[in-house]
Structure 1
């Protein structure tokens, strides 16, 4: 299909903004709707790209966007005007410089109408394969949100093209399969090949020498939320099959995003509850009510778990799923949440000791070890709570044990806290306790600084950092030694402490560690 053929279709509402006459003879092989600032990784040669130009903020943005199109030999750029109004001159200039046909579309015609027409008619009318791909594409798009989910989309693809495929989510779980289910090793090979990779399509060979094609499933924020895996090497596939895969990726992405939104909504209460436990701001009555809301009986013991992987590319959701799957068992209520860089899990109805929990979890750890590869998963386990007042300290204990966990193997458990510094020791305390300690000792100095515009807190910090060396501290503060002595005397008067004693110096040093430095 040529660009001219599209312009001749009045119902598509397309019109030329800039193009040399010969350019209108270009073949259009597919279409893609994208508003990412740099869309290159999603495009193919001969595409017609539609955009609302949300990315258009000036000449540099147009140069980035249009250059990405040129590198992929995109045939046409179509800019809608609902958001931008008139198409900016700098977009026209960028298309002219890069040799990209620039069209616009009537505000009465949706982008979807254009893409559906292209996908259904892009190949020759006498090509049975292409006709079939168009039908599959339309059926896939029509099925979005119908309730059949990703499994239904994969099933349709399999029935039409006899290609086995499966879906690996960002938590490391296989959530949809058609054909032969992948082995643990197959899943681990894909997982470890794709984590942290910026590639858009990869061929992975399993232990039996069979190739599989893998595509990351990305959102508008370019965050991978899963991977589509199809048997075979996509590089030898016909164009119509590649086109259907691109549509399949779109459909699966929508289904995964819907599931992720539902999961985040369900987790919201658990996240808020755990954050309140970390800050130790709940009374026992409030903690009891919160436990009931997340499904845990407050009258039964609770064990807290904290987990983290030593790789920033490893999704925290995968860490959460690992901890949850390792510790789930009949009779236990497992509530977990993703805190961004670590996962926290609460186990209700636990009768086992931490050591017994670990022994039971190790029996189900093979899959997690395969996913981890060369990485290390650290897990801290608290003691069982005996009362609601221990919940906050249990979470703090689990997090401290996780951070101090050492040992060999992919999964390292810790049931004992071994702080190696005063920072680690303080982190074992709930936030409320740390803040109360620091405020109670430093409050007279903070209040005095506010009233008089002085800086006694910083003076104290520098003095202690200099190990009480008067001249060194005075030099760092840019004051005379006598001035420093006056300030230290004022600090001692306000706090009724003696900075010549190690005991009071240690108290002040720890108190200062609970408040941010002025630097």
Structure 2
């Protein structure tokens, strides 16, 4: 770390301290030269401001200049009074008042030499910081360890944040403070960023870039470890999607995961056509879940994946909504997810089928990101979804065929059933008199050869009406 006192110790510069002796431990992050009377819009925290005082003409000019430096959090002012007859007294006074170290540059020393030596000092310090960071990474390559060492070298707290807004790791509690944001290296479906709570000069920017690179390597290692751990559930997930598998095979594959047979599980299916992989999407969404999670690919293209999640009390009731909001932050193509369960091991295949039908419902939605839970789908639709298309169409034709040429009667029957068989509510919904409704229902009953007031008949007809949707 390059401090103000470090610059005073460089023999070639021969700078003399004129004010601010109590503030020499401030870190210098970059150098900036200016001759503007008000440079405030161009200043950054930690800068060594270099000036030939061409802006100074009379006593009183120093106060606004130094105040701007102090407001921006500059480290120090290095000034030469070659054209003003020395360092003005009001500049020394203003620097003392605003706690701004004032370094006097010898009149025979060019600013080019000062800039070169300061930049070299910053570069050397950055090189040392990078070496220390690499050494620390060799000892502790975990994300938490890397971030702690990085925060020390950068002199500012750091966060790793995913593209969904999730804070992956942090060196301090609380939300990220965005002063510098760098992309974490690596190709991933859900990119990460390194957020630093400070504006960084060229030297420290190199350190931050090194840290972001090390974080990318650590992520790749952790992802590989997780993939190895997930392989234990791959056979079970494959069997869930295989209608020819039997109960004994499922039980054996389930036992290999170590999951408790008496605890309910949720089944998640994700489909991500395009560049993303379904496993990475599910990994991201389930990263903060405290219960055991297993994720594996279910297709050859890598764009579909399945997750098994222990559905204990930690599973949030609004998971589908929160997942949709998180995924909406990601750009790119479509992401659709279906959720089935909860179900214990004997009912796991059914939960998988429920997730499959929920996924189908998500695909049919218009949104780019759609997450559908099985609870959102009526039981009658799930039952219908399990029948072959040919059978469903045949049942609809057999049940509703006589009404095919009577759309008004068909609509009346649908509204009547959706109003729980209440003539008054149905008439109100259709904006007709109740006697008109009864006439239409009677006519529909005649054509169908059925009693529309019979509950079982109502169920059959409603299921047949649901087929078209």
TM range (shorter): 0.3 to 0.5
- TM-score, with structure 1 as normaliser: 0.41
Query: Radius of gyration: which is bigger?
Result: 2
